[in-house]
Amino acid sequence: MLQISNLHAQLEEQKILNGINLTVNPGEIHVILGPNGSGKSTLGRVILGDDKYQVPEGEIKFNGSDFTDLEPSERAQAGYFLSFQSPPEIDGVSVREFLFAAKKASDPAFSSSYKFKKGLKETFTDLRLPEDFTERETNLGFSGGERKKAEVAAMLTLDPQLAFLDEIDSGVDIDTIREIGSQLRTFTEDKTKSLIIVSHSDKLLQEITPTHVHVFLDGKVIETGGHELVEKIQAEGFDGYKPKVKGFEVI
């Protein structure tokens, strides 16, 4: 589904990604772990085509097609979804209006407003959000948990092939993590779909089992494995991956 080869990216003069190689097949769940500033969030934005980042080298292919020169809207139409750590507030636009516009934009063949409203109601019920939540202004005054649930609702509504979830579990309580985990399990029951999850916590990973775990450091994938890497990092942190700093003698 997704093939990333030798991907480099920078923000102005600052190099952030330094040769990322990553392959995601249908039905897989990839988890990215790494310290702050290691390039995890940047990867998601570069796959989307955020024009703040320059890509001097590398290749991104999605279902065999070159993503490199496509606009973000075209990448979304192709089946890619990115959730944000801090989604913006949109005054005067309800959640329902926002998601309906996004659905129409990402799926030109979509036309059934009745089917959309019915599906949205079911999604918000599953996420334990009140029915009138859809009429609230998008992200305006939302709690941390409500913002994260709204991002999951957007993913389920747009129904992508590949979703990149950037810290969807940060700043939320254990009940919210369980509710999000339940929806992600449902999403991945369809083995044509895949997830990439960036996380700093093992709580969500107790709800959904990854097929692949990648450790990022300095814009590179430095180790790939299974769930044992999650356990290793929870026990030891990332210090074992960082270069040792030699001591010095003061004279």
User: So what's the pLDDT on residue 26?
Assistant: 97
Query: pTM of the full predicted structure?
Result: 0.90
Tokens of 60: 């991104």
**Is the four-CA dihedral 131, 136, 141, 143 of positive or negative sign?**
positive
Percent of the chain at pLDDT exceeding 70: 96
**Which tens digits make up the pLDDT trace of 123-165?**
989 999 988 898 999 999 998 889 999 999 999 999 999 999 9
Mean pLDDT on 7-32 = 96
Confidence of residue 231 (pLDDT cuts 50, 70, 90): confident
Mean pLDDT on 23-28 = 97
**Which tens digits make up the pLDDT trace of 113-125?**
788 888 888 898 9
Angstrom distance (rounded) from CA 161 to CA 54: 25
User: So what's the pLDDT on residue 20?
Assistant: 96
Q: Tell me how many degrees the CA angle 241-24-243 measures, rounded to the nearest 5.
A: 10
Minimum mean pLDDT among 30-34, 115-119, 141-145, 206-210: which range? 115-119
Supply the mean pLDDT for the chain: 90
Q: How far is CA 61 from the centre of its chain?
A: 17
Rounded to the nearest 10°, the torsion over CA 118, 123, 154, 100 is: 10
Of the candidates 179, 165, 94, which has an alpha carbon nearest to the alpha carbon of residue 134?
Answer: 94
Is pLDDT at 212 greater than 60 in this prediction? yes
Is pLDDT at 248 greater than 90 in this prediction? no
User: So what's the pLDDT on residue 132?
Assistant: 87
Residues contacting residue 49 through CB under 8 Å, at least 6 positions apart: 67, 70, 71, 72, 75
Mean pLDDT on 219-248 = 80
